[in-house]
Amino acid sequence: MRPFSCYNKNLKGSFAMKIIDSHLHLCQTEGFCRTAAFAHCENSMVYVQKEFAKNNIVMGIGMGNQPFDTKDTAPLVCNLAGQMILEPYNYPQNIACCLGIAADKITKENQKQMVDSFAQALACFHIVGLKVYAGYQPYDLLDWRYLPFYDLAAQMQVPVVIHAGDTANSKGLLKYAHPLLVDELAGHFPQTFFVIAHYGSPWLADAAEVVCKNKNTAIDLSGLLAGPIDPDTVWREQEGYFSLIRTWNQYMAIYDRLLYGSDWPLVPMAPYIEIMSRLIPARFQEDVFYHNARRIFTRIQPYTE
């Protein structure tokens, strides 16, 4: 993730095709509020809905954080695994979410109860996947804590999103967040679909090869930039970085398993859409920005037609 100080305040979202943001965060912790302020965003559901309308975003998929603190919502299941689980609150119809697995809260004694709680939550229509915090949680992807959740995802026909690549703080352990680890995981669980978040950056080549080899994997484009950005300035200053992303996109040539995601509030929505659109050939943009998410996160289909 690369921070930038340049920002064009006159930039307005105007992307014509429908967009699904398959990776964002809806959380009002102090850290996310600071992140939003740094990116010149307002960390509120009202702001999110305005930005969705402005940029033709028809659905956003939140990743495993506590929900916005609103008075007219109530949890439907117990939060058994700590703050990293997003409880199924009554979000707007254009907000879905992936339940985050807090592996450090799982013991041999409570594992079945945890899995049962997730199964109960997955009965809710807007819970559309699971999220593994590889790197932030100090466990191998094939650790016993995770295994029944992969089986549950296959049973419920929802994907598992794997954090991959750089971590947002120095406490994360990169050896658990390398995208090559998803290769073995995908082989052990061929009936489960896995999404490698953040393109596994900086290990772009490794993430691309994993997706080439394993048909039950995909990559999302979230979190490749951070902070307030001006597209033209960033495009010029980071030409080498974007050239690498384009190179590995072309190497894969698998645009039906590449997903748009922003990692909002890490970046403002409109300029990030603009940058990502420059990395995708025009003939594949509708797939990357819209159709692929509908096909992989199948539960959102009735709400994104």
CA–CA gap between residue 4 and residue 110 (Å, rounded): 44
pLDDT of residue 78: 32
Specify whether the backbone of 109 is left (phi greater than 0), alpha (psi in -120 to 50) or beta: alpha
CA–CA gap between residue 56 and residue 62 (Å, rounded): 17
Tracing tokens 């419920």 back to the chain, one arrives at 156
pLDDT, tens digit, for every residue of 242-267?
999 999 999 999 999 999 999 999 99
Report the CATH number at residue 284: 3.20.20.140
Higher pLDDT, 20 or 26: 20
Q: Is residue 285 part of a domain?
A: yes
What's the number of domains the chain is made of? 1
User: Would the pLDDT of 28 be above 90?
Assistant: no
CA–CA gap between residue 158 and residue 161 (Å, rounded): 10
Q: What is the pTM of this model?
A: 0.89
pLDDT of residue 89: 52
pLDDT, tens digit, for every residue of 103-130?
998 999 999 999 998 998 888 878 899 9
**DSSP string for residues in 73-129:** ---SS--TT-TT--------TTEEEEEEE-GGG--TTTHHHHHHHHHHHTTSTTEEE
Spell out the residues 6+ positions from residue 112 whose beta carbon is closer than 8 angstroms to its own: none
Q: Is residue 13 part of a domain?
A: no
In our burial notation (b when 16+ CB lie closer than 10 A, e otherwise), range 273-291 reads bbbbbebbeeebbebbbbb
DSSP state of 223: T
User: Would the pLDDT of 19 be above 60?
Assistant: yes
Mean pLDDT of 282-290: 97
Higher pLDDT, 161 or 36: 161
Q: Which two tokens stand for residue 106?
A: 């799982």
Q: Is residue 31 part of a domain?
A: yes
pLDDT, tens digit, for every residue of 154-208?
999 999 999 999 998 899 999 999 999 999 999 999 999 999 999 999 999 999 9
Before 75, cis peptide (omega within 30)? no
Q: Is residue 4 part of a domain?
A: no
CB atoms within 10 A of CB 126: 20
Domain with 276, as residue range(s), is 19-303
DSSP state of 60: E
Q: Is residue 6 part of a domain?
A: no
User: Would the pLDDT of 73 be above 70?
Assistant: no
Q: Is residue 67 part of a domain?
A: yes
Tracing tokens 């509908």 back to the chain, one arrives at 294
Q: Is residue 2 part of a domain?
A: no
